[in-house]
Amino acid sequence: MMVDAASLRDSTQIVLPSGALADVRDELTSRYMVTLFERDGVVRIIGSPVVIKEVNDYLCRQGINVP
């Protein structure tokens, strides 16, 4: 069975508008093992599937809408 690349990508990254992390960026990078990649008005939060799930929950608790 082949794994769909899009589903792997969705489980290892969160894509948000660049300004969305302004208030939590420092805490996010100190609390979680993630890489932030910013370009063309968006920021990609990249990490393992387990960490991305934790980051997703954290961002939601901070009032940041995660698509």
H or E element that contains 32: none
- Please give the model's pTM, rounded to 2 decimal places: 0.84
Q: What is the pLDDT along the chain (67 residues), one digit of tens a residue?
A: 655 556 555 689 999 999 999 999 999 999 999 999 999 999 999 999 999 999 999 999 999 999 8
End-to-end CA distance of the chain: 28
Is 13 within the bounds of a domain? yes
Is 29 within the bounds of a domain? yes
Domain of 31 in residue numbering reads as 5-61
Is 34 within the bounds of a domain? yes
Is 9 within the bounds of a domain? yes
Is 67 within the bounds of a domain? no
Is 31 within the bounds of a domain? yes
Domain count, the chain: 1
Is 66 within the bounds of a domain? no
